[in-house]
């Protein structure tokens, strides 16, 4: 069996006396769509932050294709092909949709400052390539009509697609989505579900979702990992996980 794209082993994260993650282990294989669920405060976003290099765990290891990235800087991890969206939109609201997407292309820009200032051939070629990539993502997500509009003027559902588009522009191998359906209408959630599946096929993505909408989780996921109080309490196919007594108790606060 092929080695996992993402491997987390024995991860423990503390903030003073508060334990956010306790001996968490999981694997995600290339091409999988895995959901990470659990009650509020279970440690889901903290785990994402450890994978992205924003938090440094006290114990454990995070590997990407076998390479230890536990202590790597966030920009290094991004260059290795890990992209992430946030629970609260982290867009530049005064900038246009196209400009936000171009920021997602930034990690591929190799020309130095003076090459940009002097307009060297490499700088020009890279700028053209970035614009072509951003325009292609605009078309893929049907965002052309919003191309030159400031993000702040757009509906929440469209802003969610812009954030997804910015992540796609970085050409990730692993895409971490933190509550992508938060604040969306039922219609917008259906649109997002379609877009995620389409993007997975078109770009060969591996997806990990933190998500509270259990209908979306059950519809999309091949595997579900459940966290509660910083510990993994269940893992497996959606149908089996939703019947697990520990999961029922974690969500409802009663014994199954």
What is the pLDDT, as a whole number, of residue 126?
Answer: 66
Contacts of 18 by beta carbon, 8 Å cutoff, 6+ apart: none
Per-residue model confidence (pLDDT) at position 110: 54
Q: What is the pTM of this model?
A: 0.86
pLDDT tens series, the chain, 256 aa: 567 999 999 999 999 889 999 999 999 999 999 999 998 889 999 999 999 999 999 999 999 999 999 999 998 999 899 999 887 777 888 899 999 998 887 665 455 544 544 456 655 566 667 888 899 999 999 999 999 999 999 998 899 999 999 999 999 999 999 999 988 899 999 999 999 999 999 999 999 999 988 889 988 999 999 999 999 999 999 999 988 988 888 876 644 3
Instruction: Give CA–CA dist 219/189, Å, rounded.
Output: 12
Write down the pLDDT at residue 237.
94
Report DSSP state, residue 150. B
Bridge partners, 68 (sequence order): 63
Residue with tokens 């910083």, as numbered in its chain? 230
CA–CA separation, 172 vs 216, rounded Å?
22
Length of the chain: 256
How far apart, in Å, are the Cα atoms of 178 and each of 48, 142, 160, 193? 8, 22, 11, 14
Q: What is the pLDDT of residue 117?
A: 47
- CA angle at 38 for the pair 85 and 3, rounded to the nearest 5°: 65
Whole-angstrom Cα distance, residue 155 to residue 143?
12
- What six digits make up the tokens of 2? 């092929």
Tokens describing residue 128:
């053209």
Radius of gyration of the chain (CA): 19
């Amino acid at each position: 069996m092929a080695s996992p794209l993402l491997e987390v082993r024995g991860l423990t994260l503390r903030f003073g006396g508060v334990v956010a993650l306790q001996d968490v282990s999981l694997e995600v294989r290339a091409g999988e769509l895995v959901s990470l669920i659990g009650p509020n405060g279970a440690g889901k976003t903290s785990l994402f932050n450890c994978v992205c290099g924003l938090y440094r765990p006290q114990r454990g290891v995070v590997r990407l294709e076998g390479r230890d990235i536990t202590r790597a800087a966030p920009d290094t991890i991004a260059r290795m092909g890990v992209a992430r969206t946030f629970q609260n939109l982290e867009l530049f609201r005064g900038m246009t949709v196209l400009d936000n997407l171009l920021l997602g292309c930034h990690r591929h820009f190799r020309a130095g400052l003076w090459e940009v200032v002097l307009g060297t051939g490499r700088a020009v070629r890279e700028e053209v390539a970035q614009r072509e990539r951003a325009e292609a993502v605009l078309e893929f997500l049907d965002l052309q009509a919003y191309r030159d509009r400031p993000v702040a003027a757009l509906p929440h559902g469209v802003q969610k697609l812009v954030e997804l588009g910015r992540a796609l522009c970085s050409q990730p191998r692993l895409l971490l989505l933190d509550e992508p359906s938060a604040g969306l209408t039922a219609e917008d959630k259906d649109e997002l579900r379609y877009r995620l599946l389409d993007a997975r096929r078109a770009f060969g993505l591996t997806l990990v979702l933190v998500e509270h909408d259990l209908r979306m989780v059950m519809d999309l996921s091949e595997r579900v990992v459940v966290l509660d109080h910083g510990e993994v309490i269940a893992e497996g196919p959606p149908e089996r996980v939703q019947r697990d007594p520990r999961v029922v108790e974690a969500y409802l606060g009663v014994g199954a």
